[in-house]
Amino acid sequence: MATLVLKQGSDRRLRAGHPWIYRSEIADLKGGSAAGEAISVVDAAGHFLGRGFYNPRPAIACRLLTRRDEALDGAFFLRRLRAALEYRRAASLVADAYRLCWSEADGLPGLVVDRYGQVSVVQPLTLGMERALPRIEEALGLLFPSGAVYRLDDTTAARIEGFAPQRGWAGTGSAGPAEITIAEGECRFAISFGSGHKTGLYLDQRENRRIVADHAPGRRVLDAFCYTGAFACQALKAGAAQALLLESSAEALAGAEKNLALNGLPGRAELRAGNAFDELRALEARRERFGVVVLDPPPFTRRKESVEAAARGYKEINLRGLRVLEPGGVLATFSCSHHVTPALFEAICREAAGDAGIAVRVLATLGPSLDHPVLLSVPESRYLKGLLLETL
Ligand code: SAH
């Protein structure tokens, strides 16, 4: 196995618990390694630090998978995935749909596995993980003998890491169902494999959908950036009087329509296709009011350099979201941009409330569901942040 030698001082972050090695931190690669292969990592003095997959193409050339002298074989993946399952079982997080493996936070940097019924949806985020998929699929087969595996590569990760993104049932002759229905609390949601630009649900918002639903009874709800309408469905099921769903993707709206029907809710919901920025402005101009507003936009930035522009976007929607709230109404507002820190997000919302001239109380600070654990030593694993605000 090849050995990656770090530059003097470049071991500090690794020793503090962070698993990433940047290309610029590498002093030497002894023994020559091909992209995607396992390598040992040593510090400048030659002390062993761990093992991971190497890729010279992206800025992050290696993510440590282990700090021990052990093989990254099928047994390794089985141990890690079993530990991920056990953590979730112990914390009562195993449900019809949940995240089984969340990359760094589960000791498998570059691998995401979501479970929908008996189907494991696998997402490799690094070349090494893509190459290791046969071992991962085998481990999943041992953990869930009656399950199927669906591979759903992320096109952005594939481009950065240099592999051809694929989608489809893994293994031979083990195609799963094209569509299933899963339960999330009182609601049922349709999950389709093999079609659509997204498979499944935003599982990271599972807890928050329940929290928001608690505020919904009797109220009119605005679900902006609704995707397949999971927030609106939960709110209506909990007794919301009516919901307006805003979404720009026709495909997502079709999913929302299906989910509303599955739950017997279409009579109390209105779906509106379009740009949520424009719709929010129009709602404000028409002086429409809601008891609950949910703002769950896609990441407005993926790069540090464009945080300022993203902040303007977040401020605008939060300003408008607050203005369409009735007195005593509740705003559930989120950001899933890595580079927008919880402190920055709070500052943006404070400015929005200041400009709107509305006093708000913080009912709760929100994060991802607990099946998306956060590693204290890896701030990047905390990407979803939210605030539950009440106007006074
Ligand atoms: N709240 C959802 C997840 C939202 S994901 C849930 O719990 O399932 C963000 C959604 O915003 C995506 O479906 C995306 O298609 C949509 N979107 C992106 N830009 C938009 C825009 N400008 N206006 C409306 N919707 C937009």
Kindly report, residue by residue over 378-389, the tens digit of the pLDDT: 988 889 999 999
User: Does position 104 have pLDDT exceeding 90, yes or no?
Assistant: yes
Sign (positive/negative) of CA torsion 125, 130, 135, 141?
positive
Of 227, 231, 245, 369, the one to substitute when testing ligand 1's pocket (max ligand atoms within 8 A of C-beta) is 227
Q: Which residues does residue 116 pair with via DSSP β-bridges, in sequence order? A: 97, 119
Of 201, 225, 336, the one to substitute when testing ligand 1's pocket (max ligand atoms within 8 A of C-beta) is 225
How much of the chain, in percent, has pLDDT values that exceed 90? 90
CA–CA distance, 195 with 179 (Å, rounded to integer): 9
CA–CA distance, 139 with 324 (Å, rounded to integer): 50
pLDDT digits (tens, 9 = 90+) for 212-269: 999 999 999 999 999 999 999 999 999 999 999 999 999 999 999 999 999 999 899 9
DSSP string, 368-380: --TTS---TT-GG
Look at residue 309 and give its three-state secondary structure.
helix
Environment class of residue 24 by beta-carbon count within 10 Å: exposed (0-12), middle (13-18) or buried (19+)? Answer: exposed
User: Does position 80 have pLDDT exceeding 90, yes or no?
Assistant: yes
pLDDT digits (tens, 9 = 90+) for 314-330: 999 999 999 999 999 99
DSSP string, 55-103: -SSSSEEEEEEESSS---SHHHHHHHHHHHHHHHHHTT--SSEEEEEEG
Look at residue 322 and give its three-state secondary structure.
helix
Name the band, by pLDDT with cuts 50, 70 and 90, for residue 89.
Answer: very high
pLDDT of residue 197: 59
Ligand 1 centroid from CA 157, angstroms = 20
The model's pTM is: 0.95
State mean pLDDT over 339-347. Answer: 95
- Looking from the CA of residue 227, the nearest atom of ligand 1 is 13
Ligand 1 centroid from CA 12, angstroms = 39
Other Cβ atoms less than 10 A from the Cβ of 347: the count is 14
pLDDT of residue 42: 98
State mean pLDDT over 191-219. Answer: 89
Show Cβ contacts of residue 196 under 8 Å, excluding neighbours closer than 6 positions: 251, 255
Write the DSSP symbol of residue 288. -
Question: What top-level class would CATH report for the domain 3-66?
Answer: mainly beta
- Looking from the CA of residue 294, the nearest atom of ligand 1 is 1
Q: Which amino acid is at 221?
A: V
CA–CA distance, 277 with 269 (Å, rounded to integer): 20
Name the band, by pLDDT with cuts 50, 70 and 90, for residue 6.
Answer: very high
Structural element, H or E, at residue 316: helix 307-323
DSSP string, 119-145: EEEEEE-SHHHHHTHHHHHHHHHHHST
Environment class of residue 189 by beta-carbon count within 10 Å: exposed (0-12), middle (13-18) or buried (19+)? Answer: buried
Name the band, by pLDDT with cuts 50, 70 and 90, for residue 199.
Answer: low
CA–CA distance, 134 with 1 (Å, rounded to integer): 20
Q: Give the gyration radius of the chain's Cα atoms.
A: 22
CATH label, 74-177, candidates 3.30.750.80, 3.20.20.70, 1.10.1060.10, 3.40.640.10: 3.30.750.80
- Residues with a catalytic annotation lie at 336
CA–CA distance, 337 with 302 (Å, rounded to integer): 6
Environment class of residue 233 by beta-carbon count within 10 Å: exposed (0-12), middle (13-18) or buried (19+)? Answer: buried
So where are the chain's domains?
3-66, 74-177, 201-391
HSE toward the beta carbon, residue 148, CA cutoff 13 A:
19
Enter the tokens of residue 11: 């071991």
User: Does the Cβ of 300 fall within 6 Å of ligand 1?
Assistant: no
Enter the tokens of residue 345: 């997000």
User: Residue of the nearest CA to atom 11 in ligand 1?
Assistant: 225
pLDDT digits (tens, 9 = 90+) for 327-340: 999 999 999 998 99
pLDDT digits (tens, 9 = 90+) for 149-177: 999 999 999 999 999 999 999 876 568 88
pLDDT of residue 381: 82
User: Does the Cβ of 116 fall within 6 Å of ligand 1?
Assistant: no
Other Cβ atoms less than 10 A from the Cβ of 29: the count is 15
pLDDT digits (tens, 9 = 90+) for 17-72: 999 999 999 999 999 878 999 999 999 999 999 999 999 999 999 999 999 999 99
CA–CA distance, 153 with 199 (Å, rounded to integer): 11
Question: In terms of Cα–Cα distance, which of 282, 359, 347, 348 is closest to 320?
Answer: 282
Question: What top-level class would CATH report for the domain 201-391?
Answer: alpha beta
